[in-house]
Amino acid sequence: MARALFIIDVQNDFTEGGALGVEGGDAVAVGVSRLLASHPERYDHVFASRDWHDGDNDNGGHFAHGTPDFVDSWPVHCVSGTPGAEYDPGLDTSDIDVHVRKGMGEPAYSIFDGITDQGGTVTEALDALEISDVDVVGIATDYCVRASALDALAAGRRVRVLTDLVAGVAPESSAAALDELRAAGAEIVPS
């Protein structure tokens, strides 16, 4: 069986200076690139997700009308085809095998909510590639990293979250997310 790396939403709108930029986002991009360059044999396949929201609607209530609650509704971010939706420039994308777009017209937090560039689901890709183990990195620890890791566990994979390669919205909710993931069976470890 094979091991994959899930790079979750390392996009311009989620790193410093973006519409929903989190502290440490740029460092995650650089750190993931460094990990892949220094340990090319560690992963059989690399998946990367991106929010890829519609620009002409509220994406199922995901974009706030008025003031966002920052739980279910958010400021406009990661609109398909805009610079904010692109990968952070610190992320070397040359090792990514499977690109996943999610949130096209609807709220989507987990990589499993997306569609691969080949038109399939993440579960189909994991099964076809015989992936049993998944390491998860990216943004944001307390939202999309959390949801992706929980769904990977639910899909029967062994999961590790690499704590030095994630960045969250808030320290308290990020710590709670890591505790929840540990309780659900994920390993919470540095890279």
Whether 9 is catalytic is yes
Distance CA 152, CA 112 (A): 8
- Which residue, chain included where needed, has tokens 């974009």? 63
Of 13, 26, 144, 151, catalytic? 144
Distance CA 189, CA 123 (A): 24
What would the two tokens of residue 45 be?
Answer: 């396949």
Whether 78 is catalytic is no
With CA atoms as reference, report the closest residue to 47 among 115, 142, 143, 140. Answer: 115
Strand ranges (E), the chain: 2-8, 45-51, 98-102, 115-116, 131-139, 158-167, 187-189
Of 102, 113, 135, 151, catalytic? 102
Strand partners, 109: none
Task: Yes or no: say if 139 and 9 are a contact pair by the CB < 8 Å rule.
Answer: yes
Whether 102 is catalytic is yes
CA angle 126, 127, 132 (to 5 degrees): 65
Of 9, 13, 51, 95, catalytic? 9
Task: Yes or no: say if 19 and 75 are a contact pair by the CB < 8 Å rule.
Answer: yes
Task: Yes or no: say if 43 and 53 are a contact pair by the CB < 8 Å rule.
Answer: no
What would the two tokens of residue 79 be?
Answer: 């609109």
- The catalytic residue positions are 9, 102, 144
